[in-house]
A and B are shown apart, each in its own frame.
Chain A
Amino acid sequence: MNAIELERLTRDFGGVRAVDDLTLSVPEGEIYGFLGPNGAGKTTTLKMLAGLISPTAGQARVAGEAVGPGTSSMGVRRKVGFLAEEPSFYPWMNAEESLVFVGRLFGLESADAKSRAQSLLGVVDLTDRRRDRIRGFSRGMRQRLGIAQALMGRPAVLLLDEPASALDPIGRKEILDLIAGLRGEATIIMSSHVLDDVQRVSTWVGILRKGRLLVEAPLDTLLQSHARPVFRAEVADHEERTRLSALLRQEPWLQEVVEEAGGLRVLAADPLAAQLRIPALVAEAGAHLVEFVTVTPTLEDVFLSLVHGAEA
């Protein structure tokens, strides 16, 4: 059974089409990673699912019920937790009051709301700041508090817009572990620019570009079926890397070349040509080849390949 269903969902802002004929479904209990470059329509889609904006055409259903401003039933809103990219709070409340307020809106008794608030403050590592006014919180603290408020009502469906974007590496790991731990308990759609985050926690992935869905599949299937071999060429130093990168960019088969520690990661439209040409280009660049291997493609490779493929 699908917890979330989008059917030919379209949204225009003036003359700009932010979401274009988007059809997708998220099976119950899955963590759906929603990927796309800036302006792909991820936030607009999540806002439509949260009932904050209306579709221009098509429809969206969460837990079997239509959502939209003025149309989302209380029943749906009781089942949904939403985290905006930049979560907003009443700045004159403290962290605990804010969570208790949300819990009370979900119908929890005061004592239960307080107990759940304290527990979630611990989970998002804000226990020490629970009595501080939110006005003084950093963006990362607001994001952690935002995740806690989205979880207050024990939602069946969680909509997370860039949930880890403002967090430091430790906070990011904790939040991603928390999200991964919710698998099976809640259906989650998580948008992110950070492909590594999505690969770490998602079970399903949808890639959006210019409002259209390029591909949607379980993560493993996506990695197996869409990724072409990726080459890693390690050369002696930065200057050699720069020269080699410049030569690679002139090759017709090149899809993307990404500099990473010590080497270059090369995505090729024609893997055979790449395999033959890369060593020759290393020699042409006057570089010293330290290592040349084929590596397992990551979600980032699939993403780059699909997005560049669509552009081509």
Chain B
Amino acid sequence: MRVLLGKELLELRRTFRVIVLPALFVVFGLAAPALIRALPMIIKGSEAQGLDIPLPDFGPADGIAQYLSFARQLGLIAVIVLYMGIIAGERKEGTLAMLFVKPVSRLSFVWTRWVVNGAYLGLSFLAGCGTAVLYTVLLLGRPDFSAAAAAAGLYLAYLLLAFSWTTFFSALTKNPGIAAGLSIVPLFVVPVLGALWKPLGEYGPYGAVAAGTAAVGAVGSPSVSVPLSAFFSVGLDLFLSAALVFAAYWALRRAEL
């Protein structure tokens, strides 16, 4: 396990992923408050063309909410694109065959890959959160730090779940493109199901995201405290993540290479 952990860390350092992921979330963290700050000026410019769009007064919460919006849309798609080959890529390249004729357990392989990359994804997301908070303070004023921290924690659980299902689909096939295609499906289906059936929306996997968004608040929707259902949702996300890691191992256990 220690040897595989070392290999994962070396791979992070040696491949573009080490830059792309944190850079992406940091850019989101910079862009979100800047966009909110610039929006009135952009809208004002459009008034010269005869458009009259009424604007609310944006506050610090909007900067954080915008970052979270970037994270759950572009961020999740980026996670799928970056990790679609987390196992399928190794299978396609033949390195998995090289590895599995050696005394390496397939569970250790999946587990270490998930732990290192999941932790790295989480840290990248949190780096983006930190950037968004700092830039919000500079451009929009002081946000509610505890609400931002709670939202970050709630989003993190869902982000981990999305990463886990990408890992699972990547173990099912040796084609990273197919893994990405399969991983996109829950990205849309999970929020839609949550919207269609309220209990699922609150207690289901997407409940954490909805509660995080509500906790930060924004123009037109004041900040609300984190409900108990959100903790259940976080627990469910973590449980499903662990289950998906084992499912990935199960898929890989008898895979022919």
Contacts and interface: CB of A to CB of B under 8 A. Distances in A.
B254 A105 contact: no
Given A74-B105, A107-B103, A52 B7 contact: no
Interface in A30-85: 47, 50-54, 69-70, 74, 77-78, 80, 82, 84
Contacts of B99: 105
Interface in A80-95: 80, 82, 84, 86-90, 92-93
Given A74-B105, A104-B3, A89 B95 contact: yes
Contacts of B253: 69-70
A253 interface: no
A50 B101 contact: yes
A52 B97 contact: yes
Given A69-B253, A90-B95, A105 B102 contact: yes
- Size bracket, chain A contacts: 20 to 34
A54 B254 contact: yes
A101 interface: yes
B191 to A, nearest CB: 36
A104 B99 CA distance: 12
A291 B57 CA distance: 104
Interface stretch (B10-18, B28-36, B64-72, B131-139): B10-18
B98 interface: yes
B102 A102 contact: yes
B82 to A, nearest CB: 15
Contacts of B104: 77, 105
Contacts of A292: none
A106 interface: yes
Contacts of A102: 102
B94 interface: yes
Contacts, number: 71
Interface in A98-112: 101-102, 104-107
B119 to A, nearest CB: 20
B192 interface: no
A115 to B, nearest CB: 17
Interface string B241-257: 00000000000011111
Contact of B103 (A50, A84, A97, A106): A106
A206 interface: no
Contacts of B52: none
A211 interface: no
Given A53-B256, A70-B253, A106 B97 contact: no
A21 B102 CA distance: 27
A47 B105 CA distance: 18
15 contacts: A52-B257, A54-B254, A70-B253, A70-B254, A74-B105, A77-B104, A84-B97, A88-B98, A89-B98, A90-B95, A92-B15, A101-B7, A105-B102, A105-B104, A106-B102
Interface of B: 3, 6-7, 10-11, 14-15, 93-95, 97-106, 253-257
Interface of A: 47, 50-54, 69-70, 74, 77-78, 80, 82, 84, 86-90, 92-93, 97, 101-102, 104-107, 149, 153
